[in-house]
Homo-oligomer: A and B are copies of this chain.
């Protein structure tokens, strides 16, 4: 366990949304800034599927985080002003309890004995963490990608736990196109012989499956527009063998997929990926309220999408904007011209810094 992580032991049994429970569950988390006296300046970051709690560097860890440009002193999420919390998701493999963690009842990894994981479980466990730190209500939740859906899961289950929401490159539910991509990623992992029904080991890792899954995912992270500019046709290589790597985009996929193979646990990946496809904010609609967000007491929300996002296309952000406005929440919808597709929030720094920073300033 990295010593810069703080560990929250979830009290009692943690009951999962679809049934089942774990004992002695742990969430690994990090914080930036100071919680003020009336505990009103807390911002919770909910992460994408493969991200961890290390969103930015801090006094205990000088390594750049996955959202380094966004979080820090004087940055858009200004840690001089805000107390920022980010946890590795329950079910993940970055210090929080997940399918590859030992089951305290057996001492062996849970593997497929880990309960069915949903984004509601990520939301509920993260809320317990925040409460344990003394946060009675969040100033804001910030959720990009899967984190945006986790934020909605938290909002739908705890309707007044946050005053503001920043929802980025996400939506109320995965569209079938995104589910198809994730389904093929899961299939690639499951069909690797080394996956061995979950009984793989470091020395017998489903490398091919993880690599291929990553390549499939990469089809959806950037955009055709960005790739057209990035990969000139003139850069073709001579392949080492017939049908070997020849096109620039093939080298790119190969390079990035190779880097990913051992960065994430295969079963964790399956659980989190399925959780994204299971999430359906619309299922919270009731006979009384067709709008599942009708009872939410959010003061305001910022919803951001990118025209080039294939994974969470802008229709989803438009839909959420309508639902929140209909619920009486003062919401703002911004669709950016970023060419980086779904990953724009990680890459298009100026645009996203300005959006998040300006919005947070307005919430004070």
Binary B-proximity of A304-316 (CB < 8 A = 1, otherwise 0):
0000001001010
> Would A233 and B180 be within 8 Å (CB), given that A219-B219, A243-B186, A243-B270 are in contact?
no
CB distance from A245 to the nearest CB of B (A): 8
CB distance from A199 to the nearest CB of B (A): 14
Choice from B112, B233, B282 contacting A233 with Cβ under 8 Å: B282
A231 CA / B187 CA spacing, docked (Å):
20
A288 within 8 A of B: no
How many copies, total?
A: 2
CB pair A274 B176 closer than 8 Å: no
CB distance from A217 to the nearest CB of B (A): 11
19 contacts between A and B (CB under 8 A): A112-B242, A175-B224, A175-B227, A176-B230, A176-B231, A176-B247, A177-B219, A177-B228, A178-B224, A179-B247, A180-B218, A180-B219, A180-B249, A180-B253, A183-B247, A184-B215, A186-B243, A216-B216, A247-B277
In the complex, which residues of chain B have a beta carbon less than 8 angstroms from the beta carbon of A250? 179-180, 183
A310 CA / B274 CA spacing, docked (Å):
25
> Would A228 and B176 be within 8 Å (CB), given that A270-B243, A274-B243 are in contact?
yes
A280 within 8 A of B: yes
Binary B-proximity of A176-194 (CB < 8 A = 1, otherwise 0):
1111110110111011000
In the complex, which residues of chain B have a beta carbon less than 8 angstroms from the beta carbon of A184? 212, 215-216, 219, 253
CB distance from A61 to the nearest CB of B (A): 34
> Would A313 and B191 be within 8 Å (CB), given that A176-B230, A180-B250, A242-B112 are in contact?
no
By Cβ-Cβ distance, the 9 closest A-B pairs, closest first, are A177-B224, A176-B249, A176-B227, A176-B231, A180-B249, A183-B250, A179-B247, A175-B228, A177-B227
CB distance from A21 to the nearest CB of B (A): 17
A348 within 8 A of B: no
CB distance from A48 to the nearest CB of B (A): 19
CB distance from A211 to the nearest CB of B (A): 10
